[in-house]
Structure 1
Amino acid sequence: MKSVMACQGISKSYGAGDILERVLKRVDLELFEGQASVLVGPSGSGKTTLLSILGCLLAPSEGQLLIADQTVNFSDKSSLTEVRRKKLGFIFQHAQLLPFLTIEENLAIVGRNAGMEDMDIKQRLDGLLQRLELKVMRYKYPAQLSGGQRQRVAIARALLHRPSIVLADEPTAALDWNTGKTVVELLLEQARLEKAVLVVVTHDTRMLPLFDRILTIADGLLSEQRQTAAVENTFYTQP
């Protein structure tokens, strides 16, 4: 499999002097195209910090982040913006759609920022709206949609420009179990179809069997569980 992203000895600390808090401790991780990983761990363990570094939103204190074998220069703001716009799709816990734009406009602006041609944007937008069952919503505003519909729009927005890396931070936290499972399954399906790396942070252990890899952070240290063992130990049926 082709390597898309890699962490090499990434650490992250906050504070200074005697009050230095080390949130991540020498994280090594390689992520491959078409591979879906779930990132779990207790609150404060460093999950969101790692996801923010992977998304080029936060610079590591030590170590390197590589995308397509190129080291990310966190001190170059213009190149970071270019990477985020063209290579990354990010789904937040809440959809964070622009309330004054229609669904179609929320999606189209991502394509324009990524440098896509208008015809390509239209074709891509039409296909995603169809696949995610959002066609009838395209001219509506975010406030007119349900929580599950807004999250499906957020998925479409993250995938519209065909990023090689898709990151999601607790995308189902505000959703009920059935809606949340549907949202994650749609995200997995589309990411695999596009051969994108997918990393999802979640507290919901019921989601674990859906993923290829289960990554765990505890006290800033990253480890990987064997999928069979993880499923046996953590999966339970919705009552």
Structure 2
Amino acid sequence: MKNIMTCIGIAKSYGSGDILEHVLKRVDLEFHEGQASVLVGPSGSGKTTLLSILGCLLAPSEGQLLITDQHVNFTDKSSLTEVRRQKLGFIFQHAQLLPFLTIEENLAIVGRNAGMMEEDIKQRLDGLLHRLELQAMRYKHPAQLSGGQRQRVAIARALLHRPSIVLADEPTAALDWNTGKTVVELLLEQARTEQAVLVVVTHDTRMLPLFDRILSIADGILSEQEQTAAAENIFYTQP
């Protein structure tokens, strides 16, 4: 499988001198096309820190991040912006939609920033709104939506431009089980159909059998466990 993203000795520390907190300790990891990974660990273990570095939102203290064999320059803001617009889809714990735009506008702007044609944007937008049952919200503003609806819009926004890397920080935390099922199915479909990397942070252990592998962080140290369970079985277990 083609390697899409690589961590080489990624570390993150805060503070200085004798007061130094090591949040991540030398992460070496590869992510391949079409591969779905779930990232688990206790609160404060470094999950969100690692996800933020992978999403080019936070610079590591040490190490290198490569995306499609290109070194990410964390000191070049314009380069980081271009990488995020073209190659990354990020789903935050909170939707972070632009409040002055409609739902359709919040989604369409992502496609335009990525250089998509207007007709392609419309087709992709229509499909995602239908899949996530958001058609009726199309012309509403974020303040008119529930928390769960806003999170579904955020998921559609992350997927709209068909990024090669999709990162999600607790994407189903605000959703009920059935809606969460739809969301996870869509994320996995994106990864496997588009041959994209998917990395999801979650505390919901019911999701673990869905993924190709489990990445676990404890005290800033990452370990990996191969995931072999059949993905489809989990959705027939009630919460």
- Note if contact 2:86-2:114 (Cα within 8 Å) is conserved in structure 1: yes
Would you say 1:144 and 2:144 are equivalent positions? yes
- Note if contact 1:151-1:183 (Cα within 8 Å) is conserved in structure 2: no
Q: What 5-or-longer segments of structure 2 have no aligned partner?
A: 232-236
Would you say 1:113 and 2:113 are equivalent positions? yes
1:9-48 equivalent positions in 2, closer than 5 A: 9-48=9-48
1:137-216 equivalent positions in 2, closer than 5 A: 137-216=137-216
| 1:185 aligned counterpart, secondary structure | helix
TM-score norm. by structure 2 comes to: 0.91
Q: 1:71 is matched with which residue?
A: 71
Would you say 1:6 and 2:6 are equivalent positions? yes
Between the aligned partners of 2:162 and 2:128, the Cα distance in structure 1 is 11
- Pick closer, same or farther for the CA change 1:118–1:36 going to 2, 3 Å: same
- Note if contact 2:11-2:61 (Cα within 8 Å) is conserved in structure 1: yes
Per-residue deviation, residues 28-80 of structure 1 (Å, max 9, x unmatched): 11001111100000111100000000000011111100000001011111100
- Pick closer, same or farther for the CA change 1:31–1:192 going to 2, 3 Å: same
- Pick closer, same or farther for the CA change 1:178–1:158 going to 2, 3 Å: same
What is the percentage of aligned positions where both structures have the same residue? 89
Per-residue deviation, residues 192-211 of structure 1 (Å, max 9, x unmatched): 22221100001111110111
- Note if contact 1:36-1:197 (Cα within 8 Å) is conserved in structure 2: yes
Q: 1:55 is matched with which residue?
A: 55
AA partner of residue 192 (structure 1): R
- Note if contact 1:40-1:217 (Cα within 8 Å) is conserved in structure 2: yes
Tell me how far 1:228 sits from its aligned partner.
4.4
Tell me how far 1:238 sits from its aligned partner.
4.5
Between the aligned partners of 1:4 and 1:201, the Cα distance in structure 2 is 19
Between the aligned partners of 1:171 and 1:156, the Cα distance in structure 2 is 11
Per-residue deviation, residues 165-221 of structure 1 (Å, max 9, x unmatched): 000011122233333233222222233222211000011111101111100001111
Q: 1:234 is matched with which residue?
A: none
Between the aligned partners of 2:128 and 2:179, the Cα distance in structure 1 is 18
Tell me how far 1:152 sits from its aligned partner.
2.1
Q: 2:234 is matched with which residue?
A: none
| 2:151 aligned counterpart, secondary structure | helix
- Note if contact 2:8-2:27 (Cα within 8 Å) is conserved in structure 1: yes
- Note if contact 1:102-1:141 (Cα within 8 Å) is conserved in structure 2: yes
AA partner of residue 95 (structure 1): A
Between the aligned partners of 1:187 and 1:12, the Cα distance in structure 2 is 28
Between the aligned partners of 2:3 and 2:228, the Cα distance in structure 1 is 24
Larger deviation, residues 200-209 vs 220-229: 220-229
- Pick closer, same or farther for the CA change 1:90–1:163 going to 2, 3 Å: same
CA RMSD of aligned residues (A): 1.9
